[in-house]
Amino acid sequence: MKNMNPITKELIAPCGMNCAVCSRYLAHINNLKRSQCPGCRPRNKTCFYLFAKCTGVNHRIKYRDAVFCFECDQFPCKQLKRMDDRYRKNYGMSEIDNLEYIRQHGIENFLEDQYQKHRCERCGGIISAHNGKCFQCDEVTRLIEKLESR
């Protein structure tokens, strides 16, 4: 069943964010009428939240080539900690914890762990970390999207 995991390596941003559970990415792959994003790495633009103010190693190399923030000598920097605090408080997840997991157990184990954590029991889709909904099968969500798009 391992090859069914839709959470792939390129969906894990340098900051540790799992784009696969981001509501904007899920809107993108499920073609919902709302703010969409193909994921941080696939988008291949400078990270607005971190890299605009980044003075670490990621500042000097191309975003696409940046591997993970933990490779930076300033990890975890002020910007990353600020974002991490917000995510802990609002969404019960942590980019820094994600990065520590990747550092200790490797990316492949992280992808599998994330899939176990965020998989929808009903349809096998992915549940958003931002609103706790499965964008693939949640009828309530789909209905709201439809109404909003009118």
Beta carbon of residue 122, minimum distance to Zn ion (angstroms, whole number)? 4
Q: Which is nearer to Zn ion, 42 or 124 (CB)?
A: 124
Q: Give Cβ neighbours of residue 39 (< 8 Å, ≥ 6 apart).
A: 10, 11, 13, 19, 20, 22, 25, 28
Part in contact with Zn ion (CB under 5 A); list of ranges 14-22, 70-78, 96-104, 119-127: 119-127
Beta carbon of residue 137, minimum distance to Zn ion (angstroms, whole number)? 3
Out of 122, 131, 143, 148, the residue judged to bind Zn ion by CB under 5 A: 122
If one asks whether residue 125 binds Zn ion (CB under 5 A), the answer comes out as yes
Q: Which is nearer to Zn ion, 67 or 123 (CB)?
A: 123
- 18 forms beta bridges with 12
Tokens matching residue 85: 């605090």
Part in contact with Zn ion (CB under 5 A); list of ranges 39-47, 70-78, 88-96, 121-129: 121-129
Q: Give Cβ neighbours of residue 98 (< 8 Å, ≥ 6 apart).
A: 12, 16, 17, 18, 110
If one asks whether residue 134 binds Zn ion (CB under 5 A), the answer comes out as yes
Give me the residues that bind Zn ion (CB under 5 A), please.
120, 122-123, 125, 134, 136-137
